[in-house]
Amino acid sequence: MKKNKKKWKKIIYAINIKLFLLDICLIIFIILILYFSFCNISNIVIQPTSVTDNKQINEIIKNTDLGEFITNNLSKPAEQQIKDKLKELNPQLDITKINVTHITNNSATITSNDENIYTKNVIVNYTVSISSINW
């Protein structure tokens, strides 16, 4: 009879431990449900960036003739001069997002330095004031 009593004590002890652990799990579950309901996680919307957000640079720079540059005795305009003229002719253009490359005495290539803003490239033309060049 004593052996039977010890056996039942062990079984009851094991059941009590399992019930205690189950109670802890339920309490944690209830706390998490309350936490997420107060945080209102369902209202957070993650919007991926759309590929269509970027624009082709030739759609922004419609007029590729920049006119005449006075270049302080240089044979070609400086990059900033070209950017300033582009901004003047195209106010919606963000000149911080473009590069001016292949600058010659009559043309330059405008490319994007951020493909998320502008794509493609465009060649712009201009003249350099002859009176500003000392040969």
Between residues 42 and 31, the one the model is more confident about: 31
Query: Is 25 a residue whose pLDDT tops 90?
Result: yes
CB 119 within 8 A of CB 55: yes
Q: What is the CA radius of gyration of the chain?
A: 36
Other Cβ atoms within 10 Å of 118 Cβ, number: 24
Banded model confidence at residue 123, pLDDT cuts 50, 70, 90: very high
Residues 55-131, CATH architecture: Roll (3.10)
| Of 74-78, 98-102, 108-112, the least confident | 74-78
Looking up tokens 């963000």, which residue turns up? 94
Sign of CA dihedral 18, 20, 23, 28: negative
Q: Average of pLDDT values for 27-45?
A: 78
| Rounded CA separation 46/83 (Å) | 35
pLDDT of residue 41: 56
Parse the chain into domains and list their residue ranges: 1-47, 55-131
pLDDT of residue 9: 86
